[in-house]
Amino acid sequence: YMADRISWRNVSLMPGVRYDYDNYLSNHNISPRFMTEWDIFADQTSMITAGYNRYYGGNILDMGLRDIRNSWTESVSGNKTLTRYQDLKTPYNDELAMGLQQKIGKNVIARANYVYREAHDQISKSSRTDSATKTTITEYNNDGKTKTHSFNLSFELAEPLHISQVDINPQIVFSYIKSKGNLSLNNGYEESNTGDNQVVYNGNLVSYDSVPVADFNNPLKISLNMDFTHQPSGLVWANTLAWQEARK
């Protein structure tokens, strides 16, 4: 991993690059990273950030563990299993982010952030059973893809409240997430549908990958966080109260 920070007046640039070798899929992965920060008045009261990042990964180990579990289950029933990996790519996410931080009054900090994330080459699978040999054949592919829009607005104190020997740090967070894709994030690497498949959604015939991800759309969430720190002992008591809109 290599990174640098370049500053000129009240603007900072942070380019970087990361290299990983995925020995499970035998892939070489290069992840570019870039972030810029503008301290508008050079006093950290008003700041704008923007960045682009690529993240490789996904729970590849989960795929292998599922194969082991399925092979045990199917062997008990007398069926054979055959798993095919054909030049699978490592799943990755491209992420664009923008943020604004503003100090309000003497002790309140407001932050607004937007993140657009595209998941590429997500691993999905299809299974079929050969009736002649009673062999269950599972084939993995990189057909999964997801697009996610994430908005976040938060308010917190620049300095905690001091009561006796206890510091109190309150924070309230409003978040909104909307995703569309053809891969079930709850089931992981299960069967997926490609954009060529048509489904009925809200009474209209549309491509499958234009349908919101069924188990990940929590459009609105409001969280109240309260951290209490007892200074003499260093003991921290963290509390979170959250309301979440029903999944869609």
pLDDT at residue 164 greater than cutoff 50:
yes
Section 217-232 average pLDDT: 91
pLDDT at residue 229 greater than cutoff 90:
yes
Q: Which residue has the higher pLDDT, 67 or 106?
A: 106
pLDDT computed for residue 95 by the predictor? 98
What tens digit of pLDDT does each residue of 39-93 get? 999 999 999 999 999 999 765 666 666 665 555 444 444 556 666 666 788 999 9
Q: How far apart are CA 195 and CA 183, in angstroms?
A: 11
Contact call for residues 12 and 37 (beta carbons, < 8 A): yes
What tens digit of pLDDT does each residue of 117-132 get? 999 998 887 777 777 7
Note the Cα 65 to chain centre separation in Å.
22
Neighbours of 68 (CB within 10 A): 11
What tens digit of pLDDT does each residue of 130-154 get? 777 777 777 778 888 899 999 999 9
